[in-house]
Structure 1
Amino acid sequence: MNRRNLLQAAATTALAAASGTLTGKALAASPATPSAKPSSDAFIRAEGSRFVRHGQTYRYTGANIWYLAWLGTDGSYGDRGRLGRELDRLKAMGVTNVRVLAGAEESPVKDSIKPGFLREDGSLNQDLLTGLDYAMAELGKRSMTAVLYLTNNWEWSGGMMSLLYYATGKYINNNDPAHPWPAFPDYGSAFYSNPEAVKRNFAYVRMLVSRTNSVTGVRYAEDPTLMSWQLCNEPRPGVTPSLMKKVLPSYYKWIADSAALIRSLDPNHMVSLGMEGTIATGFREDIVLRAHRGIDYMTAHIWPLNWSWVDGKDLAGTWDAGKAKVEAYLAQHERLAKTLGKPLVFEEFGFPRDGELYDPSVPTTFRERYYRLIYAAAEASLAAGGPVQGTNFWAWNGEARAQHGDHHFRDGDTRYMGDPPHEPQGWYGNFDSDTGMIEVISTHAKAFASPEARG
């Protein structure tokens, strides 16, 4: 047996043990005594084009804060005090939902966060899993909810490229001059049809969905703090049209099989996909509709700078054209959600600071204008009885500041920001000193809150 086969065998054994299918060491420290099981109406569900909880409409203003599990660890890279402060800040702003990374695969893939939850040999980072437990407990104390995404299409948390590497021993890096765009997403789309890579993914999902929180003693499957299990951050069926056509059958199958696996273990929580929308499908609406057929609600991610709809160095000169494209994209996805008869969440939206600079001293003139644009679309949908039920801005940096003058993240850094390790630190994240941004978010939160939240 060669080294890779040995690693795969070890991975299967380790993940099976963590899932409870083998006898072995407990996954985490002895849990606290669990409280009584919540009633079924404590869980958020999709009913038609709205979310419902406790028999009432549930809407939210949310944030992306991927790094909560890292802060939640009781170790060298954790900071539980900061975790509590950040959640308190968000809560004070009216943010009641956070989208959190709950699966990260360690590998040689460049710019991926370390440590991760899952290692190549199949072992699990118990400290990081306990960190996620702690974060969920703190969210529950504040009556906040979480969307947990289980892997990533992109490199910054290892993701599908790392799972493919575990299975084949091969990978490529994003933004590698030897493999120009769209080589990375095209190559990574082989994940969906690779049995070993999918098996590793499903083993991790099975472990986490079946997990009992070591802090609260409550099974994740029975915790109303969890709003939704999310299959992936921005899963794409490749980019090149000819390749996409070949990938689509395995892409659809992976979505259906993933959702079925989760529901077999957890009948209480919604399942979401984490898709960007038509930008991920070459603007093919049929793929978006088909991909969401067995999914509880639809998501849209909107990135005008990344998609070259605006010029970061000339925001004033390119704003009007970019604004028109954003408005069209939002309207398109609201129409698609109506076709599906399901809720829609504007789940990621980000914009640079003025001049595309990174320091918190730089104004956020155009970012404030952009957030107001997104929030106005959500509020207009609400007024018209439309499907938009949630908004999650990208992202929250809070009290963190870049550790290096070049604003680049380096392995070993622990001042985590909403800007992931492959991006300039301060590019899209909002700091606790961004009073203008905080006011924009807070104003929307008051306007968009569920009726019971408004009193």
Structure 2
Amino acid sequence: MGRVLGALGGMALACVLAAHAGGDAAAEVAEDVVAPVTMDSFVRVRGTHFVLEGKPYRFAGANFWYGAYLGAPGERGDRARLVAELDQLSAAGIDNLRVLAMSEASGFKRGVRPAIMTAPGQYDEELLQGIDFLLDEMGKRDMKAVLYLNNFWQWSGGMSQYVSWSTGEPVSMHDPDQTGDWNGFMQNSARFYAFPGAQALYRDAITTVITRTNTINGKRYVDDPTVMSWQLANEPRPGSDADGHPNFPVFKQWVHETAGYIRGLAPKQLVSTGSEGAWGTLRSDELFYEAHDTPNVDYLTFHLWPSNWNWMDHHDPAARLASGTVQAMDYIDRHIGLANRMGKPIVLSEFGLDRDKGAYAPAAGTEARDAFYRAVYDRVYERAKVGDAIAGSNFWAWGGRGRTPHADAMWKSGDPFTGDPPQEAQGLFSLFDGDVSTLRIVSAHARAIRALE
């Protein structure tokens, strides 16, 4: 097939336990067989499905937003950790990673530091080399990358920082971690779509990444089949639910034009938006459909956050697990139905749930989360098995060996990265290297979904 499926079953579990024990044992990655890169080497769309090397491509993946940070050279990164974690993920059958490819220096209280874009049009070369290293190592393991190029939210600078550069207004005016005004923050981020200056800076960032040549292996990104897709942003929204409707026309146009720009730069690779689905499109199925009804968007995405959306309880996810799961399954089914109707594949590119009793510590239980993961994977598998448009999933998020050193679990510059971004408690949704029961569930699903024809 040309894809390394990784050692699964008992072998995967053995790798998980070895990593948790702190040893260096991991699945050995076979040396790649040198083969010509053809269009079949790239993930492509055929109707409502993905194909790779002429065969169906379905995947069980992870969000690994900080992967490029670990890949930076020297003390800036942690390449040994990155290699070990890619080995563990591969051994568990996780072969698709969704990664942040651009961050912006900002004055946000909870913004990640350092940033890839240090100032308008200026970039941290060592962090870009982190993407190089990540892609090279992923390629050795036949993994695929989904790289997102912006963020609606504050934790990586994102759209509000572009607004700040365009207007001269400090982001602190709209920082929800300082003001508590999330509605105002979202409306400010949505100003990004209408500012020509912000769009010019953003397109410079897009071009800088997509047209880059990898310093590790000499491949141009646009010629590297490791890159499955470029995403416009993480969770782009028209604005807040209360006030975002007037922004929808410019948001829709932005999706169409930006996706077209990326397609022009990277015609061999796919383009997706990074949308949450209806919840992130003014809670409207039809507006989500309308925003993505463009030939420039190759496939759809949606996210699933039952505790963030108050379908379950952050502090005790088991308390409303049954009712929340019913709502979650309906959300999955609705979006697969929209994808069937549009005739495009769809990916559940984020989903997650808190640990038992809302704990953050890696030692805390995951009984409710495991039940939720099983339900999600079962529904994805059932719908894929009958030929529906669902093509894969990425859980949120891989925390691996990352551990917070702080009692409040909040990230500070220089801390190890976990799966949770800086504005959230570290461990909130992270799947750590020692979460054996959850990894067993992911691995079993990876086996099952790849076996479908």
TM-score by length of 1: 0.89
Alpha-carbon contact 2:317-2:355 (below 8 Å) kept? no
Q: Verify: 1:103 aligned to 2:102, yes or no.
A: yes
SS in 1 for 2:119: coil
Aligned to 2:317: 315
Distance in 1 separating the partners of 2:321 and 2:402: 29
Rate the CA distance shift 1:117–1:36 in 2: closer, same or farther, 3 A.
farther
Alpha-carbon contact 1:58-1:450 (below 8 Å) kept? no
Supply the AA of the counterpart residue of 2:201.
R
Distance in 2 separating the partners of 1:304 and 1:449: 27
Distance in 1 separating the partners of 2:120 and 2:246: 31
Alpha-carbon contact 2:317-2:353 (below 8 Å) kept? no
Aligned to 1:362: 364
Aligned to 1:421: 422
Aligned-residue CA RMSD (Å):
1.5
Alpha-carbon contact 1:110-1:173 (below 8 Å) kept? no
Rate the CA distance shift 1:229–1:75 in 2: closer, same or farther, 3 A.
same
Rate the CA distance shift 1:417–1:214 in 2: closer, same or farther, 3 A.
same
1:39-438 map, 5 Å? 39-170=38-169, 171=171, 172-176=173-177, 178=179, 180-241=181-242, 243-294=243-294, 295-413=297-415, 415-438=416-439
Supply the AA of the counterpart residue of 1:260.
G
Deviates more, 1:182-191 or 1:442-451: 442-451
Aligned to 2:11: none
Deviations 1:165-222 (A, max 9, x none): 1111223444346452311111210000011011100111012111111111011110
SS in 1 for 2:162: helix
Distance in 2 separating the partners of 1:276 and 1:372: 21
Distance in 2 separating the partners of 1:271 and 1:204: 16
Distance in 1 separating the partners of 2:238 and 2:61: 27
Distance in 2 separating the partners of 1:371 and 1:201: 35
Alpha-carbon contact 1:192-1:250 (below 8 Å) kept? yes
Distance in 2 separating the partners of 1:269 and 1:99: 15
Rate the CA distance shift 1:57–1:407 in 2: closer, same or farther, 3 A.
same
Supply the AA of the counterpart residue of 1:40.
M
Distance in 2 separating the partners of 1:127 and 1:77: 8
SS in 2 for 1:301: strand
Distance in 1 separating the partners of 2:349 and 2:213: 27
Deviations 1:258-281 (A, max 9, x none): 111111111100000000011112
Rate the CA distance shift 1:131–1:406 in 2: closer, same or farther, 3 A.
same
How big is the shift at 1:96?
0.6
SS in 2 for 1:235: coil
How big is the shift at 1:322?
0.9
Rate the CA distance shift 1:365–1:83 in 2: closer, same or farther, 3 A.
same
SS in 2 for 1:260: helix
Distance in 2 separating the partners of 1:121 and 1:200: 7
SS in 2 for 1:107: coil
Aligned to 1:16: none
Rate the CA distance shift 1:227–1:334 in 2: closer, same or farther, 3 A.
same
Distance in 2 separating the partners of 1:124 and 1:313: 40
**Which structure 2 residue ranges, 5 or more long, are not aligned?**
1-33
Alpha-carbon contact 1:347-1:393 (below 8 Å) kept? yes
How big is the shift at 1:314?
3.2
SS in 1 for 2:307: coil
Distance in 2 separating the partners of 1:240 and 1:348: 20
Distance in 2 separating the partners of 1:43 and 1:376: 27
Aligned length: 416
Supply the AA of the counterpart residue of 1:134.
F
SS in 2 for 1:119: strand
Rate the CA distance shift 1:133–1:395 in 2: closer, same or farther, 3 A.
same
Distance in 1 separating the partners of 2:131 and 2:400: 19
How big is the shift at 1:445?
0.8
SS in 2 for 1:441: helix
Supply the AA of the counterpart residue of 1:446.
R
Distance in 2 separating the partners of 1:271 and 1:121: 24
Equivalent pairs: percent with the same residue? 40
Alpha-carbon contact 2:121-2:205 (below 8 Å) kept? no
SS in 2 for 1:182: helix
